[in-house]
Chain A
Amino acid sequence: MTPEPDIRSKLLFHLQEVLAEDQLITAEEELRPYECDGLSAYKKLPIAIVLPETIEQVQQVMRICSRLFVPVVARGAGTGLSGGAMPHEGGIILGLSRFNKILEIDVDNQMARVQPGVTNLSITQAVRQYGLYYAPDPSSQIACSIGGNVAENSGGVHCLKYGLTVHNVLEVQMITVSGDRVTLGSAALDNPGYDLLGLITGSEGMLGIIVEVRVRLLPRPEKVNVILAAFNKTEHAAAAVAAIIADGIIPAGLEMMDKLAIQAAEDFARAGYPTDAEAILLCELDGSQAEVNEQSYLVKRQLKLKSASTITEADTPEQQARLWAGRKSAFPAVGRISPDYYCMDGTIPRHQIGHVLHRIHVLSQQFGLRVANVFHAGDGNLHPLILYDANIAGELEKAEQFGAEILKLSVDVGGTITGEHGVGNEKLDQMCYQFNDNELQFFHLVKEAFDPDQILNPGKAVPTLHRCAELGQMHVHHGKLPHPELPRF
């Protein structure tokens, strides 16, 4: 869909009236860096990039685009993994990267007001001096922006205990499609009216433009302990996950890797992982010294009961960083042992981990493709990495079919197609598997209430009833993501 020439010229005329020269990009070579987000398989060029610096400018841009029916795709740092920030060829990219200031740190109330372009990690860095931190820690946290985190409801490795973005954001300032500014949430612990803050979180840029965020901060724990356990059978590791939680313990992090992932990570990061193990668990405990000591004892007891072959503890920050290094380098490590891989993001009930791992193993043999399994086991979020070689005819298609089978399996066992990466442009067809027409229609009604003319990020997140897009998942060709410097786990 190419806009009519007069719409394009009208649009650019009105935009240049409200934006400075360096805030409006139209030259093709300067548009290129914005043609995709972290999912590079899908690329499109927009009409223009706008980089406003004030909320008033965002409001003016929205009014212009609404009047001319020009699609607007909001973009934070562009690190998303589902194509949610892929441009619309007839629209503009509304980049929020210049909203990069921390506006207020309220130590007494343990909250901070920040602009949407502030990176996730920089919030924690700014409040560290007060003994506080921001809990959600997606793997791209050195680069991803808080506005993007809200739009995607980002997770990380500590969700089981500390929740997702939705549990850690108190208030959002949002610009509606018609350019009005609304405040969703507050500095209080609950709010009257509809939970539009909850609704906007994870809505993938479909309902409004986030221009300010008030996050909740937590006190840093007094003590952290990390336990590494190796298993000779993956089902024992899966059983240990359930047993730890059934014992009344909520670990700060509980991660699982299978043999192929362990070997790749060990070759890459030299974390000291036992490469002969079929599976490992990494369990992080935090809290007061006394709490961590008690919980460590209970966790080790459960690990032994579930036949862990070795148990290693790391109670200094350096040792802990080394153990985590293997896990956190799992994606690039797998990228070294295969020309391409294909990352899935389903979530399943924890008690299904053993079954699902077994099914993935069977599917792996059927499709003739290897899989390295990396799980946020504590919350059941799976990242199976399907290894393939795009240069071998038909292998990409096989990997896509394999991936689709895994997502169907996730839904079939009571889970979901995406735990933290979002639907975006990527999982529209799988949405059709998870939701029926009545459910999809309900989503469309919500969209219509906020954006009746389909201006905001049209075509993403929720498939039309008539046509479910057929597009694949996260493709990594020769290990090259658009942000090769970022860790992915």
Chain B
Amino acid sequence: MTTENHLLEQVRSAISQRTPLYIQGGNSKAFYGNTVDTTLLLDTTSHTGVVDYMPSELCITVRAGTRLQDLEYILASEQQLLPFEPPVYTSASTIGGAVAAGLSGPRRPYSGAVRDAILGMKILTGHGTIIHVGGQVMKNVAGYDISRLMTGSLGTLGVILEVSLRVIPKPAHELTLAISRPHDEAINYFTRLRTSGLPITASCYLNDEIHLRLSGSTSYLQSLVKKQEGQVIEKADAFWQSIRNHTHDFFQQHDKPLWRLSVAPASTASARLNTDNLIEWGGGVRWISSNTPANIIHSIARKKGGYAVLFRGKIAGVNTFPEPEPALLALHKRLKHKLDPQPVFNPGRLYREL
């Protein structure tokens, strides 16, 4: 039996018995989202492999259980990479998990998010069917954009079997500059950078220092460095990996809950949350370790044009994601009910009501 048929049988059985499934790839993001109240596991890790890859098409189609590190290795051998640079929390992390979680890494503001790279999918549905949506081409407006709907839905609407992703050429060369700046100047600095024309592909602020990754040809980068302030750092790859994969010391403090605020990039820093924090994405993401009450953190994030997620650490009575407005939650519930009527897929993981 193919791995796909095996997954299909398990889902059909769960549907007929109305038993919820916990969909699991590499299990590296088990901390992300609410707990799912079931013991029945749907393991995707044996559903692996490249289905189609032609580098000049800038598209790869892979099975969901394929490990991210294997996928990146294959792309690197053709001088390409995933534009959204997803976190690889453990070596077991899969592409299916990365897409289902919808988390992007340092390159996101400069070459797009996970959802921006999604071209198509093969999905196992809550009706026990297998469907293909989207495709392998950039421009495609036939049918609703189901692949994007699945992206970031934390497995609550179906099982991703295969995904077609847009990939981009790997820059010929990259270097990273470290620039000293006090905390209260960081956001303004990032704002000015957005119109600088610099070929930035990653940015962060931590411990009074801004890090900028620049990408391009060797000669171009060398000519730029002469004109720029800041020091070229060594072991830059290791630094960005530590930010991307949360192995940096900043992410290893577990004494307080870790919040991720995704906000309008130029919105001012919050005096109320002026703790030791990490800024990413040119100001678009602010990581905060804080005991500030959840409702205050949510309120601050909303005022800055975004939202806050309780990323790591559990707080009694606090869900991972903020509750949507009633009319928006109602749309979520109706979609969930239509697409996963029993329901069987990851109940509660995204919102308790789904």
- A residues apposed to B, CB below 8 Å: 106, 108-111, 131, 152-153, 155, 159-160, 163-164, 166-167, 176, 180-184, 186-196, 198-199, 201-203, 206-207, 219, 222, 242-243, 245-246, 248-250, 287-288, 290-291, 294, 347-351, 376, 379-381, 414-423, 427, 431, 434-436, 438-439, 441-443, 445-450, 461-462
Contacts and interface: CB of A to CB of B under 8 A. Distances in A.
A435 B199 CA distance: 41
Contacts of A248: 79, 169-170, 172
A167 B116 contact: yes
By Cβ-Cβ distance, the 5 closest A-B pairs, closest first, are A198-B148, A187-B305, A188-B306, A419-B139, A248-B169
B339 A167 contact: no
Given A183-B325, A199-B148, A347-B138, A294 B262 contact: no
B137 A348 contact: yes
A416 B327 contact: no
A187 B79 contact: no
Contact of A167 (B108, B112, B309): B112
A380 B331 CA distance: 35
Contact of A449 (B109, B116, B152, B331): B331
B167 to A, nearest CB: 11
Given A188-B306, A290-B220, A166 B138 contact: no
A233 to B, nearest CB: 19
Contacts of B56: 242-243, 245-246, 350-351
B264 to A, nearest CB: 4
A435 B309 CA distance: 37
7 contacts: A182-B325, A191-B152, A195-B149, A203-B145, A242-B56, A442-B127, A450-B331
A441 B132 CA distance: 12
A189 B331 contact: no
B131 A438 contact: yes
Contact of A176 (B153, B327, B338): B327
A294 B221 CA distance: 12
A170 B339 CA distance: 25
A446 B331 contact: no
A248 B146 CA distance: 30
> What is the interface residue range for chain B against chain A?
35 or more
A437 B135 CA distance: 17
Contact of A418 (B131, B142, B157, B170): B142
A192 B136 CA distance: 26
Given A294-B220, A446-B335, 8 more contacts: A176-B327, A187-B263, A188-B263, A189-B284, A219-B194, A379-B137, A380-B139, A431-B142
B155 interface: no
Contacts of B240: none
B321 interface: yes
B189 to A, nearest CB: 12
B104 A446 contact: no
Nearest to A293: B220
Contacts of B327: 176, 180-182
B264 A443 contact: no
B199 to A, nearest CB: 7
A453 B339 CA distance: 17
B314 interface: no
Contacts of B116: 163, 166-167
A178 B125 CA distance: 27
A243 B281 CA distance: 33
A108 to B, nearest CB: 4
A462 B267 CA distance: 41
A198 B141 CA distance: 12
